């Protein structure tokens, strides 16, 4: 399945370029202010202790960590598309 998908993306470079742009945009949106919000959330725990869990800080922390992993997924998919396009432009075949 993976080889079929890579072969398809290798043959349809325009679609691959479009996907790369979409993944780059999604990576930017999901990682926007992620580190700042995570730092503030952790500082909230340090300053007020576990009583902030009742106010929803734990849920916010889990959401921020989830956004981090989602952002990592989009970045990885961006890099896959980039690799396929670079291989295509440098005339490397996926079978080789």
> What is the per-residue pLDDT across 76-85, written as a single tens digit (0 to 9) for each?
999 999 999 9
Summarised one tens digit per residue, pLDDT across range 5-43 is 888 998 998 999 999 999 999 999 988 888 888 899 989
Q: What is the pLDDT of residue 96?
A: 54
pLDDT at residue 92, rounded to an integer: 59
Tell me the three state secondary structure of residue 25: helix
Domain-embedded: residue 46 = yes
In a domain, residue 40? The reply is yes
Residue 95, domain member (yes or no): no
Task: Give the CA angle between residues 36, 38, 40 to the nearest 5°.
Answer: 70
Domain contains 96:
no
Is the residue at 39 inside a domain? yes
Q: How many domains does the chain have?
A: 1
For residue 20, give the nearest of 91, 84, 90, 93 by alpha carbon: 84
Span 50-59, pLDDT tens digits: 888 888 888 9
Rg (CA), the chain: 19
pLDDT given at position 20: 96
Instruction: Supply the pLDDT for residue 83.
Output: 94
Residue 33 lies in a domain: yes
Residue 18 lies in a domain: yes
The whole-model pTM stands at 0.79
3 state SS of 43: helix
Q: What is the pLDDT of residue 77?
A: 96
Q: Which domain holds residue 63?
A: 2-89
Report yes or no on 6 lying in a domain.
yes
């Amino acid at each position: 399945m993976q080889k079929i998908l890579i072969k398809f993306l290798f043959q349809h470079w325009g679609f691959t370029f479009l996907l790369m742009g979409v993944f780059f945009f999604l990576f930017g949106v999901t990682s926007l202010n992620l580190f700042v919000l995570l730092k503030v959330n952790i500082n909230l725990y340090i300053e007020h202790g576990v009583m902030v869990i009742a106010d929803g800080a734990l849920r916010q922390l889990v959401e921020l960590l989830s956004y981090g992993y989602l952002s990592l997924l989009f970045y990885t998919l961006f890099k896959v598309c980039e690799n396929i396009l670079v291989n295509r432009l440098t005339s490397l075949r996926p079978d080789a």
